[in-house]
Structure 1
């Protein structure tokens, strides 16, 4: 990138000083810059609208785009891929005064963002039941490796149900905001992003794995979270989800 192109890129964010050695600061130049800035701003607003569809559905397109314009002004970003733009939007919404009465917006934005991250995550093989069975007892000492697309959430309120109701009405979840703890898994084991509600035991197992636990330790965490859970059945469900990568077992002593 030349010095001019770098200065021009910065000027689109409203900082013109570096551009004046390359151009005359007259009305014609300022008018042209305004056109470019409006085009760049609209592109970022369009990207936010595409990246946060559940939030758009909750507040309506006009409200969202007005809020998005304010976000773009303070967070122009530099992501070359617009699908990756807006990583700070959920945290910004939590501080956005007009959204103060809508406590569900920031959690919904976090889940929209996780969907994008899962979609953009790298591909990786998933563990299948036969691989787990072949390892036998050796599996208990293996470290859990979650698929790189996996995103885990546990909320004290019904954010997953509300988000799913807006994101995919066919999911049949209740469109209500209530103080009911819920967990959610968002991942892409194949070509499509999948979403799954999680029980407390399922979430505890996966959360332990996310923190580098062995399968045995993850099973203990699930048992502690839900004492009466059927661990073999739970493990079979999680394998069927396609959330694990093939395990890397510790080498046996010679």
Structure 2
């Protein structure tokens, strides 16, 4: 049975689809007002481009506002929005840039966009309460080593195999100019309060974080990667990035 609002919701859904598909005649629009839908289509595009410009600040700094707007318009025209929330609109932009022919001479741009997306996502991530120090004391070394970590929703790791993404972030924060031949770098990203923070990771640390974020047991992570467990774990717990310590209990007969 349809609800009382179902016809209205269906009409809105069809109108929304018509905003991104110019071949779709919108229902409920008369011949006198049909041409005016172009105003709505244009506003929808402009709103998406503006939201992308805000979300991908480092990319904008690298290529300039005019270039980015042209890139964003191409993305908007070729990538239908999957959510009414504009803050969720840019997830596919890094991959789009990697396949965007006019940006072929800027091969680092997609990886920088990946950093921007994680920075943006961290800012809008929901708040979460970090695990307290008492949990560590209760577990003891052996149980802790056999456990895995669950991180807060703002935590992410951006990795680039070829490009110095950490140096580019520093450059845009009044640091020295980045040298593109410096090689690949990785960045840990999170939010503290209302401030998004980031920290460069060495190769072993980045491997360790990638494994920890997939739920690999702590002891195995550091045995496999050779990362400094004390240094990395101190940073993770010190910044409140760990949401829970999860033990893995074997079934017993």
> Which bracket does the TM-score occupy, shorter chain normalised?
0.7 to 0.9
Q: 1:110-129 CA deviation, whole Å, 9 max, x = no partner?
A: 11111122222232222455
Query: 1:46 aligns to what?
Result: 50
Q: Which runs of 4+ in 1 moved over 6 A?
A: none
Structure 2 residue ranges without an equivalent (≥5): 1-7
Select the residue among 21, 35, 38 that pairs with 1:34: 38
Shift of 1:130: 5.3
Distance across 1 between alignment mates of 2:161 and 2:21:
41
Distance across 1 between alignment mates of 2:158 and 2:55:
19
Query: 1:248 aligns to what?
Result: 246
Select the residue among 144, 148, 156 that pairs with 1:151: 156
Q: 1:188-213 CA deviation, whole Å, 9 max, x = no partner?
A: 25432211101223222222211211
Distance change (3 Å), C-alpha of 1:217 and 1:34: same
Structure 1 residue ranges without an equivalent (≥5): none
Which deviates the most, 208-217 or 231-240? 231-240
Contact kept, 8 Å, 1:45 with 1:72, in 2: the verdict is: yes
Query: 1:113 aligns to what?
Result: 117
TM alignment of 1:1-254, pairs within 5 A = 1-19=8-26, 21-25=27-31, 28-127=32-131, 129=133, 131-137=135-141, 138-165=143-170, 168-170=172-174, 172=175, 174-223=177-226, 229=228, 231-250=229-248
Select the structure that is richer in strand.
Answer: 2
Distance across 1 between alignment mates of 2:91 and 2:124:
13
Q: What number of residue pairs does the alignment pair up?
A: 244
Q: 1:166-222 CA deviation, whole Å, 9 max, x = no partner?
A: 5x414x354221252311111125432211101223222222211211121122133
Contact kept, 8 Å, 1:126 with 1:189, in 2: the verdict is: no
Shift of 1:155: 1.9
User: What root-mean-square deviation, in Å, do the aligned CA atoms of Structure 1 and Structure 2 show?
Assistant: 2.5
